[in-house]
Structure 1
Amino acid sequence: MALYADLHRHLGGSVVPRILWRYFKRHNQEMAQRFPKYPAFEEFYTRKRNTLDEYLELHTLVESVQTEQTLPYFIYRLIRGAYIFENLAYLELRYTPYLRTPEHLSQNQRIDEMAKIVQIVGKASQVHEYPIIISQILCMHSRLPYEVNKAIVELAANMGDYVCAIDVAGGDSHYGDRLDEFISLYQYARSLGLKTTGHLYETPQGCYPALLPYLMRIGHGIQIPLKYPELLPEIARSNQCLEVCPTTYLKTGTLEDLSELKVVFDRCFDAGVDIAICTDNAGLHNVRLPFEYENLLTQDVIDFKQLQACQDAAFRHAFAWPHKERPASLLTDLLKDNSPEKMLLSV
């Protein structure tokens, strides 16, 4: 029974460790020799890193094998797990298409190849045996040149059948020197009618208020309630939703303990700011969305009423969810329509 929505999951970090290890065993001799036994690979792949930058280096490991040929393999297994083990009805999958193109090509050739990658991801996401609504968010990247990032925005605008929004990723501490550039790209995106989110206020070094007006959702954003709660009323008025990914902050060293998120949730709820609970990199963490929920509940970060509010917010702020209600409400109405009393009345 699919009931949940995940608004923030990276394609690069979505591959669970055992599937990635099996792929390496079959196709990558160097990695197979380095990790002949699975437990050692799982420990390496999922262990805590000291900084966000160190953590993001793991994405390059997966990006290098997510090619035109292999993407359907990884996406099928991603969707199968999301449907069977996570009860997902809706998933927004984000990634930088340029980083899935062949490195030996020129920049212009790689830009031209990006549309093919988006199409492959889109078609591979249509798995009829696992009926999940999946849409793509294309990520600009802090370490890519302006020309590539602009091409990513234009690609998103031209492939609306597959793409629901744009993002900027690559570590929020790296935006500062190019802030005007990213503002102009977001302005351009909004002028093209694109929906927007962005990795922002994830770390204390990634707080750029000048970018906030251009975002419809805020990727992470936890430093706002933690360090800049005076911004919360305007975020509430702007109907911006925070995409909070609990396990990420432990894995990157941003937070020491999950209990620190209680301030984030409490201040956001008090200010009327919506939060969607997300996984970010479910494979890197080996933690699926229901376990994110459970961890927050069992550690008294949120209560059940707050959890339901976050689940409702996820569907309400979803960029491509086609219904007015979340699946649980639709299912309740369906069950009411097929209740024994109504069936007897119809006889």
Structure 2
Amino acid sequence: MALYAELHRHLGGSVVPRILWRYLQRNDSDLAQRFPAYPEFEDFYTRPRSTLDEYLELHTLVESVQTAEALPYFIYRLVRGAYIFENLAYLELRYTPFLRTPDHLTQSQRIDLMAEIVAIVGKASQLNEYPIVTSQILCMHSRLPYAVNRAIVDLAAQSREYVCAIDVAGGDNHYGERLDEFVELYAYARSLGLKTTGHLYETRDGAYPELLPYLMRIGHGIQIPLEHPHLLKEVAERGQCLEVCPTTYLQTGTLDDISQLKLVFDRCFDAGVDIAICTDNAGLHNVRLPFEYENLLTHNIIDFEQLQACQDAAFRHAFAWPYQQRPASLLNGLLKVESDRDSANAYEIAQR
């Protein structure tokens, strides 16, 4: 029975290393020649990096492979693994559609092709054999010009069948010089009725309080409880949820030890700020969502009651979850109905 919700997973970082390596081998890529044996590729692909910028360079590797033709191949395996190995009932995939278009085309041609990419991802994600509720978050990007980012917002508004929200990505230390642009774009998105999240307060250089009022969720946001706890009150008042991705902070050098997350969870729980536990880049980390849960428990970062609170928060803050309850509650209801029916049948038999 699928039980969990994943709110922060990048399409570029979601491909597990062995599937990516097999694809590269079959398609005779330069990387396949560089890494003819799998163990060397896995080490290269999943080892920790020194900085967030160095870590994000791995996304460019996968983005170049995730073409319109290849996306169904990757998404089928992604959804299959999420259902079978992670027990996911709900999955939001985020990515920048412009970066899945051919880079030899003009900017306007690539913008025109973005709708096709969104449709391919949307259709490929709908698999009857693996019934997960899926939706897309389209990411603006710090490396892309204003016109492209504006087109991404417009595309999100025009593609509500597949898209539930927008985001900004590309490293939160790179927004500063263009902060007014992103404030304008988020205000524009909200005027169109779009839901919003954003990569903010992941690193110490990613503090942009000007963007916070436009967000419904905060991508990462761990530096708020760590370095800016005075903001927790207004985060709670807005009903914003932090999308915390534990393994990421060790992979990017943002934190030295997972134990540092205890303060994040403790301060958020004390302030009434919701946290959804996420994977971010399950492929780059070679981890799955249940591992993130287990790791936090075994390191005494949270207890089981707090874990359940985070799991509940994930469904409550999911942008496209169509039900009022999470799957565990729905299952309990079904089991109670079945139990009541069995009791009624037993009573009827006893009265004969």
Q: Give the distance between the partners of 1:290 and 1:273, measured in 2 at CA.
A: 22
1:14 maps to which residue? Answer: 14
Letter paired with 2:343? E
In the alignment, the residues of structure 1 paired with residue 50 and residue 29 of structure 2 have an alpha-carbon distance, to the nearest angstrom, of 28
Distance 2:153 2:180 in 1: 16
Question: Structure 2 CA distance, aligned partners of 1:35 and 1:129?
Answer: 34
* Within-5 A mapping of 1:38-49: 38-49=38-49
| Residue 31 (structure 1) shift | 1.4
How do 1:150-161 and structure 2 match up within 5 A?
Answer: 150-161=150-161
1:294-305 correspondence runs (5 A) = 294-305=294-305
2: CA distance, partners of 1:20 / 1:275: 31
1:70 CA displacement: 0.3
1:4 aligns with 2:4: yes
Cα distance in 1 for partners of 2:301, 2:278 equals 15
Partner of 2:238: 238
* Pick aligned residue for 2:343 from 323, 341, 344: 341
Match of 2:316 in 1: 316
State how far apart, in whole Å, the 1-side matches of 2:345 and 2:318 are.
35
> What SS does the aligned partner of 1:338 have?
helix
C-alpha change, 1:73 and 1:343, in structure 2 (3 Å) is farther
The residue type equivalent to 1:263 in the other structure is L
Superposed counterparts of 1:164-203, under 5 Å: 164-203=164-203
Residue 168 of structure 1, CA deviation = 0.2
For 1:32-91, what per-residue CA distance to the aligned partner results, in whole angstroms no more than 9, with x for missing partners? 221111111000000000000000000000000100100000000000000000000000
Aligned residue number for residue 139 of structure 2 = 139
Q: Under a length normalisation based on structure 1, what TM-score does the superposition of the two structures give?
A: 0.99
Aligned match of 1:220: 220
Which position in structure 1 is the counterpart of 2:148?
148
Please state how far the C-alpha of 1:208 moved relative to its aligned partner.
0.4
Matching of residue 257 in structure 1 with residue 257 in structure 2:
yes
Structure 1 unmatched runs, 5+: none
Structure 1 residue 248, shift from structure 2 partner:
0.2
Q: How far off is 1:28 after superposition?
A: 2.8
Deviations 1:130-171 (A, max 9, x none): 000000000000010000000000000000000000000000
Q: Give 1:125's aligned residue.
A: 125
Segments ≥4 residues shifted beyond 3 Å: 342-347
Q: What letter corresponds to residue 118 of structure 2 in structure 1?
A: V
Shift of 1:30: 1.8
Pick closer, same or farther for the CA change 1:126–1:346 going to 2, 3 Å: farther
Separation in structure 2 between the aligned mates of residue 151 and residue 76 of structure 1, nearest angstrom: 27
> 2 CA distance for matches of 1:67 and 1:344?
59
Distance of 1:302 and 1:28 partners within structure 2: 45
- Correspondence for 1:66: 66
Query: The residue matched to 2:218 in structure 1 has which SS?
Result: strand
Determine the C-alpha separation between the residues in 1 that align with 2:92 and 2:250.
23
Equivalent residue number for residue 55 of structure 1: 55
Task: Name which one, 1 or 2, has greater alpha-carbon Rg.
Answer: 2
1:344 is displaced (CA, Å) by 3.6
* Aligned AA (2:46): T
| Aligned match of 2:116 | 116
Q: Partner of 1:334: helix, strand, or coil? A: helix
Q: Structure 1 CA distance, aligned partners of 2:183 and 2:289?
A: 32
Q: Distance in 1 between matches of 2:348 and 2:9?
A: 45
Structure 2 CA distance for partners of 1:233 and 1:346, relative to 1, 3 Å: farther
Task: Tell me the distance in 1 between the aligned counterparts of 2:337 and 2:231.
Answer: 45
Q: Unaligned stretches of 5+ in structure 2?
A: none
CA distance 1:346–1:170, shift in 2 (3 Å): farther
Residue type at the aligned position of 1:273 = V
The alignment partner of 2:90 has SS state of strand
CA distance in 2, matches of 1:185, 1:177: 15
Q: Give the residue type in structure 2 aligned to 1:40.
A: E
Distance 1:77 1:237, change over 3 A: same
Rounded Cα–Cα distance in structure 2 between residues aligned with 1:67 and 1:28: 15
2:140 and 2:239 mapped to 1: Cα distance?
23
The CA RMSD over aligned residues, in Å, is 0.9
> Shift of residue 29 of structure 1?
3.6
* C-alpha separation in 2, matches of 1:83 and 1:345: 39
Could you say which residue in structure 1 is the equivalent of 2:89? 89
The separation in 1 between residues aligned to 2:318 and 2:18, in whole angstroms, is: 30
Q: Distance in 1 between matches of 2:12 and 2:209?
A: 28
